[in-house]
Amino acid sequence: MQHLLPIQYEPILERALAEDIGSGDITANVTIPADRMARAIVLAKSDGVLAGLAVACRTFSLVDHNIVWEPHADDGERIGDRQPLATITGPARGMLSAERVALNVLQRMSGTATMTARFVALTEGTNARIVDTRKTTPGLRLLEKYAVRCGGGFNHRFGLYDCVLIKDNHLAAGGGVAATVARARAETGHTMKIEVECKTLDEVREAVDTKADIILLDNMPLEFLTESVRIIGGRATTEASGGVNLSTVAAIAKTGVDLISVGALTHSAPALDISLEFD
Amino acid sequence: MQHLLPIQYEPILERALAEDIGSGDITANVTIPADRMARAIVLAKSDGVLAGLAVACRTFSLVDHNIVWEPHADDGERIGDRQPLATITGPARGMLSAERVALNVLQRMSGTATMTARFVALTEGTNARIVDTRKTTPGLRLLEKYAVRCGGGFNHRFGLYDCVLIKDNHLAAGGGVAATVARARAETGHTMKIEVECKTLDEVREAVDTKADIILLDNMPLEFLTESVRIIGGRATTEASGGVNLSTVAAIAKTGVDLISVGALTHSAPALDISLEFD
Amino acid sequence: MQHLLPIQYEPILERALAEDIGSGDITANVTIPADRMARAIVLAKSDGVLAGLAVACRTFSLVDHNIVWEPHADDGERIGDRQPLATITGPARGMLSAERVALNVLQRMSGTATMTARFVALTEGTNARIVDTRKTTPGLRLLEKYAVRCGGGFNHRFGLYDCVLIKDNHLAAGGGVAATVARARAETGHTMKIEVECKTLDEVREAVDTKADIILLDNMPLEFLTESVRIIGGRATTEASGGVNLSTVAAIAKTGVDLISVGALTHSAPALDISLEFD
Amino acid sequence: MQHLLPIQYEPILERALAEDIGSGDITANVTIPADRMARAIVLAKSDGVLAGLAVACRTFSLVDHNIVWEPHADDGERIGDRQPLATITGPARGMLSAERVALNVLQRMSGTATMTARFVALTEGTNARIVDTRKTTPGLRLLEKYAVRCGGGFNHRFGLYDCVLIKDNHLAAGGGVAATVARARAETGHTMKIEVECKTLDEVREAVDTKADIILLDNMPLEFLTESVRIIGGRATTEASGGVNLSTVAAIAKTGVDLISVGALTHSAPALDISLEFD
Amino acid sequence: MQHLLPIQYEPILERALAEDIGSGDITANVTIPADRMARAIVLAKSDGVLAGLAVACRTFSLVDHNIVWEPHADDGERIGDRQPLATITGPARGMLSAERVALNVLQRMSGTATMTARFVALTEGTNARIVDTRKTTPGLRLLEKYAVRCGGGFNHRFGLYDCVLIKDNHLAAGGGVAATVARARAETGHTMKIEVECKTLDEVREAVDTKADIILLDNMPLEFLTESVRIIGGRATTEASGGVNLSTVAAIAKTGVDLISVGALTHSAPALDISLEFD
Amino acid sequence: MQHLLPIQYEPILERALAEDIGSGDITANVTIPADRMARAIVLAKSDGVLAGLAVACRTFSLVDHNIVWEPHADDGERIGDRQPLATITGPARGMLSAERVALNVLQRMSGTATMTARFVALTEGTNARIVDTRKTTPGLRLLEKYAVRCGGGFNHRFGLYDCVLIKDNHLAAGGGVAATVARARAETGHTMKIEVECKTLDEVREAVDTKADIILLDNMPLEFLTESVRIIGGRATTEASGGVNLSTVAAIAKTGVDLISVGALTHSAPALDISLEFD
């Protein structure tokens, strides 16, 4: 599974800490003696899927490198209400100053993983993978794409840079499916796959002929999806997109598409309730 | 209303663009001629409250300073499905490269404003203000706190630095309500208000006696809230917190508390559907 | 007392080191063997109040993490000429490269603490607190506000963000004391105190009626200060400002004001003489 | 005279603005209408030498690019109480938000220029140049070295990187004046001058023999300075350092030294009183 | 062709200017009057292929926004000795301060484009594309990959993030070609192509069976390359790598491989001689 | 020899790693188990001079602080094909993710050192030092200037800030050699040397009379160089520049000039082949 390096997420935590601590934690400074030590448990407060435990715990040691932590669960694991996830030990003042940022990170990441797992569960027994989109929180894409993997989903492209995805506006400028895909093939590096958005069955046929790697079936009714999968016949990867929610995803998956992309995994997943409880 | 300065949000946009564009928008680069101009409408796709229009539109000119925009609505305004919010004009390539980041910002901010407005509507006719918390998205707190104001809510403290908020762990270390508040009063600058969390009516009485500025009534049942408000009798600002959702907020507001703080405004508001439609 | 976190001051030290070391310490590089070890004492060269010892000593380990230090005094402590403040041990080259930046930080912070202590001493026996202003060195506000606390003073607001302070230009735009304070009260979050500047006794009376939290008595003669304190009668915190120096502060304190704000603590305190002496 | 480029000082201003504005200018936001325009004069409040006018005025346009300014004086010019220095025009809100940072910069820079001019005046009629040191405010060295030039002084090295300066600890490690200077000469690039600190006349004689470019006469009594100048006889540049203040500088200058370095120019100059007055 | 956005390269220029200008251009400051205007021509001093003209010219306006430029040639164009490439006009001081950085950028980028064009010319008449590697200058990869495109080459992956490339050490850990490719296919997002390095014909056969998208033929003699192309028979893209230089590339291209990757395009291309000549 | 501090080069490595790793090393993530340990040798693949070993090895521990390294050679040392330079041990995944950046740094720095050593060898037996120029790679100047020292060369100025170098355009604006040097002498700090470019023997004579510290003999034929050295007669340092390459450098050195500056050391040195071989 995709692995996150500290050099990829520490700047996110540092900015979040600067945002929250600002000119100082004036409450902890006057109420907690500098030498007071503490122990606290990161505790699930509801059921879900865990994501971001190491990232969140790193927050504490960025505030005070004397704070250490021990994990009791793994990212990607189903967790239940009142389950202890990690133990944090160290100077109390720094633990209190870091608490909110750590939980904000962990709750969001686990919220996305949990939402992803719900979609994945509804597609069980089909070949369809649940994949994310670029509808992520500004600045947190790596964390959220990682959380989608924790929830059993897969990643679509990470940005504008790692896959060609030709949408309607590109097609309009490029002169239709065949001409635009051909031009992209000629101009783009050989490592890049080419995906093209289709809204009609005619476009789907044209896309197959151009040997697009992936065909995005945008906002199609179920019967069109089924027919598209039949037309494509394995000659391209198929992706359904648009109108996907917890009520519709199972039926979409049964049309035989390879991928179902869901913006809600990252733009509308509620935070998972997780708290820090001091001994 | 709180106003956002470009120097406060431009770095957020620049990081989001770097995250999305990375080594280049390989699709736009090969499909859109460099000199192609375009016009597009930022369009609401559902009902809600607008927040972040200027922030979002600034994204386009950061990508290409030849892109200009004209607003058709104001932040804080109720918007309806298919309502045009702004017109963007300029080089097509840059508009397509910036589109996703701009919408990600606008949809999240408007999602928070819309959620806030729902809570505010349910407290109408009472004195209770809906306020936010520090349960915000790492790195986006200023944008989200601004969005809460657009939705008719008010802001709680912005971080650990601008208000003393003594919670249970601080009380445990500080020796109870009276001693801890007194120490905070003695040590903290005169510009800082002191808020103290109370879980029992006895604590509430003690907090009033210490002349705390704000008393946080944490997770209290309705009758305790009512009784706390009676005990305090206007000698401190009262804030209800915990267990607040769209089903419970109206009853909480009727207890007479001054403030109701709601984490969900910022940690669990779904994005508002807004799109960019090219002519 | 306010506590500084490494994540708050290390970037200041890193920028100062970059500024001083630039393309390299060409003297140490050619005169000091790479493996030469050294021991040096941070030594007071005059009497004063210490501030910033840990911050300054951190400079050495940022240059070479093999340099360690042991403190012999505490911030806020009165120090005398020739008093050893800390022992620094490690590779000589790095110690010499870091020396100037470390001393620049320590001398300035201790200079501010020392100046503050002089003002505080002159108000002894009164209720007046000496407080700082926003007239701080660009980029060093946190360090200087911390130094004021070390000298026995207290902090006024840290910036434009943590207290409403309505001055003459705001009053002019806002329509006078009563209207402007009322509007600020209605629009600002409940955690923010509201201070208003008054130049006349009539304005003072108006400010009390508006229930401003703090009343700034700007550049008033002593008898006006005394009368203002009488008028306010404890219904607001009182702050004297303007024309405060070492000759006038005692008399101002005796008028009964709660706070005396002094720009000179941070904009005109001479550095305290402290040196590094190698064994 | 040394010229400052915007790319050299704008990051300093941006950090200072972030430090002061933080999560927002809550006073201006609620009291000043967004469309209110204003005009204000940057006004001297005491006599001195101006430094940093363009730098300070740039602060305003960084907050709001609609703010413009017109200078009425030049850096390096003697200014008198009540003299208008510049006119600032634009949206009132941004002008008020930027005011403090702009004045903090201008007052400090002009304070250093003014202090420098006092030292320079006392050396008139001699050949001695007043030069600065590395005892500058962390992060502001370029601004302060520029201000020294505005006051009629000259710059010593800018950091550890642009001149070899062999002090006592280097000499101890390097084996005395002759050996250390010789090694520095052999190892260092040809563009670098070599300065060596001498505490005795014997060291001075040795330094002349090694053909050091500059000889630093450290903390010498006047008669030793005079004798050193005689010994050196123009074969090296001479610099007096240590114990230099407004009472001693004239006599030191008369010993015939080429340079007198004064740490107080940058570490202990009080701010010059300058204000912003709105129409 | 790949297009570079200012937000992608301006930070590179800003760092390069900071590196070169440091504490100030002391020569221009004292020799060029502040109001002196100038006009200069960017002039080719040898034959080659142009790359980076807009990037280089942007350097001048970063130093002084009053400097403007007019291009006389396009990136990707063959240029000859003494050909004028652009005219730069504006304040002379800023033009001189920016000159070296601008030329450093332009000479390196054009050097890479020129080297690429030499390799491309030698493969004319074959189907082989010349592609770059990750052996680029730290920090300049985007500029160099763009320059390769200007020279007629194509881009391999931009980093570790946009294509799976399984090399010998990955194969060793992953259990051989078939197992490792299968695992990568199962775990990686559908947008990513999978390339696998083969050293023997047996590995090539195994790679074809695993349906790897691209097969890297590493350091193979010509006859093995030919045989590999035959075995693969169009079922995967073929890439020759290792031992490619101007003497060998033509023969390699004739083996029928699709791609020839050349590290020397970016790690060993000499700078192209280009100068700035003032009127 | 010039020493590089981690605070000077770590940001370069961090940027290079961000550039290469981007959203993640997708190959290592799916093929290398997280707990797999490895050992690898940094191995020379051709003869040359080593530079940057510590810098390159630091790359590995920036990716994973559990990776350690042991050097087997020193910077500045001649190395031969197949010579082991360092052993790297630690988690395999991080070692593979860091490999390319580490080698890119080491190959370039050693390439420059090797090229420098070739020039230095050709001047043996003369007094001429080989020196570098400002024609360095944007962002890597410190590393490259250090590499020149490793190769036996010396450093010219590091930037526009540490030596006055008056070239033709400065002379044109300043009114010729005598006037321009005199003005620079009067205006510039005493620590700065003044170098002036001369194209004719008359200019050389004028430069000697102005007591310029260094005289740059630009693009002069050998007999003019010889004559210039004779005219100057030790009264200034002499530097030959222009048209210097491996064929011409020996003859230039024999003219008696003190310095020969060579842009090719840094703008056109091919990378030295060095690899990482896993056990």
The string of pLDDT tens digits covering residues F94-151 is 999 999 999 999 999 999 999 999 999 999 999 999 999 999 999 999 999 999 999 9
Classify D12 as helix, strand or coil.
helix
Spatial CB neighbours of F227, under 8 Å, sequence gap ≥ 6: F201
> Would you call B167 a catalytic residue per the annotation?
yes
Q: Check if the beta carbon of residue E66 is closer than 8 Å to that of residue E36.
A: no
CB atoms within 10 A of CB C35: 8
> In this structure, what DSSP letter does residue E154 have?
B
Is the CB of C23 less than 8 angstroms away from the CB of E23? Answer: no
The pLDDT assigned to D3 comes to 82
From the list F100, F118, F235, F254, the catalytic residue is F100
> In this structure, what DSSP letter does residue C154 have?
B
> Would you call C183 a catalytic residue per the annotation?
no
Is the CB of C192 less than 8 angstroms away from the CB of B154? Answer: no
> Whose CA is closest to F141, among F12, F24, F18?
F12
Which residues of F fall within a CB distance of 8 Å from A158?
22-23
For range A22-42, the mean pLDDT: 95
Query: Is the CB of A226 inside 8 Å of chain E's CB atoms?
Result: no
For range D10-28, the mean pLDDT: 97
> Would you call D135 a catalytic residue per the annotation?
yes
d(Cα C243, Cα C269) in Å, to the nearest integer?
A: 16
User: Quick one: pLDDT band at residue C3, thresholds 50, 70, 90?
Assistant: confident
Nearest residue in A to B279, CA atom: A169
Q: Which two tokens stand for residue B208?
A: 């009033």
Average pLDDT, chain C: 96
Q: Which two tokens stand for residue A259?
A: 């991928």
ipTM for this model: 0.96
Which residues of A fall within a CB distance of 8 Å from B101?
138
d(Cα C130, Cα C152) in Å, to the nearest integer?
A: 8
Which residues of D fall within a CB distance of 8 Å from C188?
26, 30
User: Quick one: pLDDT band at residue B1, thresholds 50, 70, 90?
Assistant: low
Q: Minimal Cα–Cα distance from C188 to chain B, Å? A: 8
Q: Is the pLDDT of residue C1 over 90?
A: no
The pLDDT assigned to D1 comes to 59
- The set of chains that have 3 or more CB pairs under 8 A with D is A, B, C, E, F
User: Quick one: pLDDT band at residue E142, thresholds 50, 70, 90?
Assistant: very high
| Percent of chain D residues topping a pLDDT of 70 | 99
Question: Cα–Cα distances in Å, from B139 out to A137, A142, D63, D141?
Answer: 10, 14, 21, 31
Query: Is the CB of D8 inside 8 Å of chain E's CB atoms?
Result: yes
Q: Check if the beta carbon of residue A242 is closer than 8 Å to that of residue A7.
A: no
For range C110-128, the mean pLDDT: 98
Least confident span in A174-178, E147-151, F204-208: A174-178
d(Cα B31, Cα A181) in Å, to the nearest integer?
A: 9
Is the CB of D170 less than 8 angstroms away from the CB of C32? Answer: yes
> Whose CA is closest to A42, among A93, A91, A104?
A104
The pLDDT assigned to B174 comes to 87
| Percent of chain F residues topping a pLDDT of 70 | 99
> In this structure, what DSSP letter does residue E4 have?
-
Query: Is the CB of A22 inside 8 Å of chain D's CB atoms?
Result: yes
For range B184-212, the mean pLDDT: 96
> Looking at the partner chain, which of A26, A30, A63 has a beta carbon nearest the beta carbon of C5?
A63
Is the CB of F23 less than 8 angstroms away from the CB of B22? Answer: yes
Q: Check if the beta carbon of residue A132 is closer than 8 Å to that of residue A145.
A: yes
Q: What are the helix and strand counts (H, E) for chain C?
A: 11, 12
Average pLDDT, chain A: 96
Q: What is the DSSP string of B230-271?
A: HHHTTSSEEEEESS--TTTHHHHHTTT-SEEE-THHHHSPPP
d(Cα A23, Cα F155) in Å, to the nearest integer?
A: 43
The string of pLDDT tens digits covering residues A128-145 is 999 999 999 999 999 999
The pLDDT assigned to A66 comes to 97
User: Quick one: pLDDT band at residue A1, thresholds 50, 70, 90?
Assistant: low
Q: Minimal Cα–Cα distance from A87 to chain B, Å? A: 16
Query: Is the CB of B40 inside 8 Å of chain C's CB atoms?
Result: no
Is the CB of E7 less than 8 angstroms away from the CB of B24? Answer: no
Q: Is the pLDDT of residue F271 over 90?
A: yes
Nearest residue in A to B35, CA atom: A173
Spatial CB neighbours of B98, under 8 Å, sequence gap ≥ 6: B17, B59, B60, B62, B63, B64, B67
Residue in B15, B21, B31, B55 to test binding to A, most A beta-carbons within 10 Å: B31
User: Quick one: pLDDT band at residue D174, thresholds 50, 70, 90?
Assistant: confident
The string of pLDDT tens digits covering residues A222-276 is 999 999 999 999 999 999 999 899 999 999 999 999 999 999 999 999 999 999 9
Which residues of F fall within a CB distance of 8 Å from E181?
none
Is the CB of E139 less than 8 angstroms away from the CB of F138? Answer: yes
Query: Is the CB of F192 inside 8 Å of chain D's CB atoms?
Result: yes
Compute the radius of gyration of chain F from its Cα atoms.
22
User: Quick one: pLDDT band at residue A105, thresholds 50, 70, 90?
Assistant: very high
Query: Is the CB of E66 inside 8 Å of chain B's CB atoms?
Result: no
Average pLDDT, chain F: 96
For range A178-188, the mean pLDDT: 94
**Strand positions, DSSP E, D36-193:** 37-44, 48-49, 68-71, 78-79, 84-91, 129-131, 164-166
- The set of chains that have 3 or more CB pairs under 8 A with A is B, C, D, E, F
> Would you call B218 a catalytic residue per the annotation?
yes
The pLDDT assigned to C206 comes to 96
Is the CB of B23 less than 8 angstroms away from the CB of F23? Answer: no
Q: Check if the beta carbon of residue A89 is closer than 8 Å to that of residue A39.
A: yes
Query: Is the CB of A47 inside 8 Å of chain E's CB atoms?
Result: no
d(Cα F230, Cα B11) in Å, to the nearest integer?
A: 59
The pLDDT assigned to E144 comes to 98
The pLDDT assigned to A2 comes to 64
Q: Minimal Cα–Cα distance from F22 to chain B, Å? A: 8
- The set of chains that have 3 or more CB pairs under 8 A with B is A, C, D, E, F
Which residues of A fall within a CB distance of 8 Å from D22?
22-23
User: Quick one: pLDDT band at residue D142, thresholds 50, 70, 90?
Assistant: very high
The string of pLDDT tens digits covering residues C22-38 is 999 999 999 999 999 99
Q: Check if the beta carbon of residue D259 is closer than 8 Å to that of residue D240.
A: yes
Q: Is the pLDDT of residue D37 over 70?
A: yes
Q: Is the pLDDT of residue C9 over 80?
A: yes
d(Cα B206, Cα C248) in Å, to the nearest integer?
A: 41
Q: Minimal Cα–Cα distance from E85 to chain A, Å? A: 26
Residue in E2, E4, E5 to test binding to B, most B beta-carbons within 10 Å: E5
Residue in D1, D2, D7 to test binding to E, most E beta-carbons within 10 Å: D7
- The set of chains that have 3 or more CB pairs under 8 A with F is A, B, C, D, E
Query: Is the CB of C156 inside 8 Å of chain B's CB atoms?
Result: yes
Spatial CB neighbours of B184, under 8 Å, sequence gap ≥ 6: A27, A30, A31, B164, B166, B174, B194
The pLDDT assigned to F3 comes to 82
The pLDDT assigned to B3 comes to 82
User: Quick one: pLDDT band at residue B246, thresholds 50, 70, 90?
Assistant: very high
Q: Is the pLDDT of residue C2 over 80?
A: no
Q: Check if the beta carbon of residue C263 is closer than 8 Å to that of residue C252.
A: no
> Would you call C197 a catalytic residue per the annotation?
yes
| Percent of chain B residues topping a pLDDT of 90 | 96
The pLDDT assigned to E187 comes to 92
Query: Is the CB of D24 inside 8 Å of chain B's CB atoms?
Result: yes
- The set of chains that have 3 or more CB pairs under 8 A with C is A, B, D, E, F
Q: Is the pLDDT of residue C239 over 80?
A: yes
Q: Where does D3-91 have alpha helices with state H? A: 6-21, 26-31, 53-63
Residues making up chain F, counted from first to last: 279
Q: Which residue type does E37 have? A: M
The string of pLDDT tens digits covering residues C193-236 is 999 999 999 999 999 999 999 999 999 999 999 999 999 999 99
Q: Is the pLDDT of residue D68 over 70?
A: yes
> In this structure, what DSSP letter does residue D125 have?
T
Query: Is the CB of D257 inside 8 Å of chain F's CB atoms?
Result: no
Q: Minimal Cα–Cα distance from C216 to chain A, Å? A: 23
For range F170-174, the mean pLDDT: 91
The pLDDT assigned to F2 comes to 64
- Residue B96: which region, alpha, beta or left (left: phi > 0; alpha: psi -120 to 50)? alpha
Q: Minimal Cα–Cα distance from A259 to chain D, Å? A: 42
> Looking at the partner chain, which of C97, C161, C188 has a beta carbon nearest the beta carbon of D160?
C97
> Looking at the partner chain, which of D12, D96, D171 has a beta carbon nearest the beta carbon of C169?
D96
Q: Minimal Cα–Cα distance from B269 to chain E, Å? A: 28
Q: Minimal Cα–Cα distance from C147 to chain F, Å? A: 27
Is the CB of C29 less than 8 angstroms away from the CB of F3? Answer: yes
The pLDDT assigned to E1 comes to 59
